[in-house]
């Protein structure tokens, strides 16, 4: 497989994400037609996100005496840092992402036999398609939030009389920009104002939302790959007897195996051995995919859980202030919903990956092993041992993608919210 251009990976990416992944520049497109444009886009996105992260961090520090505005500024600062991490990580692991999508596009393993539970498999594919649709809607919703934060909500607040007559406050933060921002240059009028508005806030906001929305889609796509392949393996194990009979018939031309002599027919046992070996190979392909997936996802998952826990708490603080700035309240309410939806998505996908791993082990356990000869029983036993510990999506053993982790995130966010609220009350 070519590490830079791959037809299977390209087709899988187009089918799963459409144009969204190209717009978010999360994975470099180094095909001859788009290579130069893609590289420029990644560099501009990384520089833009890094710059706005620094300026938002400085702005939040300078506004720390105004708790209401500080909480909103800090929230956006944390999310912009998360966006910068996503862009850098996904492009650093570009070859690994190409490999994952190559496996999705080509298939993990070809059994060269018919699917024995097509209705159940089709039902599961429809479920995954609905999941992709829901995530596409979430990604579009995240992009819509950028319009709220930069254009709609500041306009609402100005109409309610919360605009600023002077460009700068006492901290040197430009309050006439849609998102109050400290800049290292004059941004109150002329070229400085329009450059800040267009290049930093509008372009930065677009990259901010495309990065987060694109990463949500990306991890849903590669998670869907491992879910579908686990389901295929489970169905194959459940139909082990039918697969062996089909192979036996192909070899000897008999319509049926003598059911009273399952353990005595050496050719039939050879068929069972072959089918089990195919399942083991498929399982090893899934494990290889999982290892690459974990390598790509370690930093984004850890950063997402850490930063979004704090960001959810900051949104709760902002909404708890009882501010009359309805535009800002709407914006941060929508951000809080998107943050929680993103966390739920990660945890549901991780939970299902583990659940299918448990189902795989159960399918092996309840197979007709008592009809196998000694060699096949040993293969099955080794396979059972390999699948005893199901796959668990997570990062460095510190966070795990499951509903228990989501509960811990919400509890941590609420605890952090209470801590900051008590700290404010003492001040």
More confident residue, 383 or 176: 383
**Which pair of tokens denotes residue 229?**
């392949």
**Average pLDDT for 320-342:** 77
The answer, yes or no, to whether residue 146 has pLDDT greater than 80, is no
C-alpha 37: how far from chain center: 25
**Average pLDDT for 98-109:** 91
3-state secondary structure the chain: CCCCCCHHHHHHHHHHHCCHHHHCCCCCCCCCCCHHHHHHHHHHHHHHHHHHHHHHHHHHHHCCCCHHHHHHHHHHHHHHHHHHHHHHHHHHCHHHHHHHHHHHHHCCCCCCCCCCCHHHHHHHHHHHHHHHHHHHHHHHHHHHHHHHHHHHHHHHHHHCCCCCCCCECCCCCECCCCCCECCCCCCCCHHHHHHHHHHHHHHHHHHHHHHHHHHHHHHHHHHHHHHHHHHHHHHHHHCHHHHHHHHHHHHHCCCCCCHHHCCCCHHHHHHHHHHHHHHHHHHHHHHHHHHHHHHHHHHHHHHHHHHHHHHHHHHHHHHHCCCCCHHHHHHHHHHHHHHHHHHHHHHHHHHHHHHHHHHHHHHHHCCCHHHCCHHHHHHHHHHHHHCCCCCCCEECCCEECCHHHHHHHHHHHHHHHHHHHHHHHHC
What pLDDT score was predicted for residue 261?
Answer: 62
Predicted confidence band of residue 4 (pLDDT cuts 50, 70, 90) = very low
What pLDDT score was predicted for residue 288?
Answer: 95
The answer, yes or no, to whether residue 356 has pLDDT greater than 70, is yes
Predicted confidence band of residue 25 (pLDDT cuts 50, 70, 90) = confident
The answer, yes or no, to whether residue 1 has pLDDT greater than 50, is no
What pLDDT score was predicted for residue 199?
Answer: 84
What pLDDT score was predicted for residue 254?
Answer: 62
What pLDDT score was predicted for residue 375?
Answer: 92
Q: Which of 408, 146, 148, 115 is nearest to 243 (CA)?
A: 115
Contact 99, 1 (CB under 8 A): yes
**Which pair of tokens denotes residue 364?**
């092996």
More confident residue, 1 or 286: 286
Question: pLDDT by residue (tens digit) across 37-64?
Answer: 888 988 988 998 999 999 989 998 888 7
Predicted confidence band of residue 287 (pLDDT cuts 50, 70, 90) = very high
The answer, yes or no, to whether residue 3 has pLDDT greater than 50, is no
More confident residue, 94 or 143: 94
**Average pLDDT for 105-131:** 86
Predicted confidence band of residue 213 (pLDDT cuts 50, 70, 90) = confident
The answer, yes or no, to whether residue 344 has pLDDT greater than 50, is yes
**Average pLDDT for 404-416:** 80
Instruction: Supply the pTM of this predicted model.
Output: 0.86
Range picked from 13-22, 67-76, 375-384 for highest mean pLDDT: 375-384
Query: Which position has the token pair 């939970």?
Result: 351
């Amino acid at each position: 497989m070519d590490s830079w251009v791959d037809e299977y990976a390209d087709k899988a990416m187009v089918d799963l994400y459409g144009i969204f992944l190209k717009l978010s520049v999360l994975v470099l497109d180094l095909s001859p037609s788009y290579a130069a444009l893609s590289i420029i886009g990644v560099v501009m996105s990384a520089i833009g996100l890094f710059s706005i992260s620094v300026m938002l961090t400085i702005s939040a520090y300078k506004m720390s005496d105004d708790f209401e505005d500080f909480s909103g500024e800090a929230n956006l600062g944390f999310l912009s840092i998360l966006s910068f991490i996503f862009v850098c990580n996904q492009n650093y692991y570009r070859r690994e992402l190409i490999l994952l999508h190559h496996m999705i596009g080509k298939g993990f393993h070809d059994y060269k036999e018919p699917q024995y539970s097509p209705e159940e498999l089709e039902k599961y594919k429809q479920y995954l398609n609905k999941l992709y649709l829901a995530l596409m809607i979430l990604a579009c919703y995240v992009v819509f939030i950028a319009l709220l934060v930069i254009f709609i909500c500041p306009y609402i607040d100005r109409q309610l009389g919360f605009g600023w007559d002077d460009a700068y406050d006492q901290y040197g933060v430009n309050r006439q920009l849609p998102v109050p921002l400290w800049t290292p240059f004059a941004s109150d009028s002329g070229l400085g104002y329009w450059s800040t508005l267009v290049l930093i806030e509008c372009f930065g906001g677009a990259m901010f939302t495309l990065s987060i929305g694109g990463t949500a889609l990306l991890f849903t796509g590669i998670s869907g790959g491992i879910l579908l392949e686990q389901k295929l393996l489970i169905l194959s194990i459940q139909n082990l007897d039918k697969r062996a009979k089909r192979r036996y018939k192909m070899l000897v031309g008999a319509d049926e195996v003598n059911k009273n002599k399952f353990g005595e027919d050496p050719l039939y046992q050879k068929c069972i051995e072959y089918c089990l070996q195919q399942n083991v190979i498929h399982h090893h392909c899934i494990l290889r995919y999982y290892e690459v997936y974990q390598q790509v996802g370690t930093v984004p998952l850890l950063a997402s859980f850490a930063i979004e826990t704090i960001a959810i708490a900051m949104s709760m603080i902002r909404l708890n202030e009882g501010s009359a700035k309805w535009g800002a309240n709407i914006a941060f309410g929508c951000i809080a919903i998107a943050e929680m939806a993103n966390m739920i998505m990660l945890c549901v996908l991780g939970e299902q990956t583990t659940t299918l791993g448990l189902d795989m082990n159960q399918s092996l356990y309840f197979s007709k092993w008592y009809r196998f000869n000694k060699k096949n029983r040993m293969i099955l036993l080794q396979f059972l041992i390999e699948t005893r510990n199901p796959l668990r999506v997570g990062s460095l053993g510190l966070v795990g993608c499951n509903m228990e982790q989501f509960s811990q995130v919400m509890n941590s966010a609420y605890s952090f919210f209470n801590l900051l609220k008590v700290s404010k009350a003492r001040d």
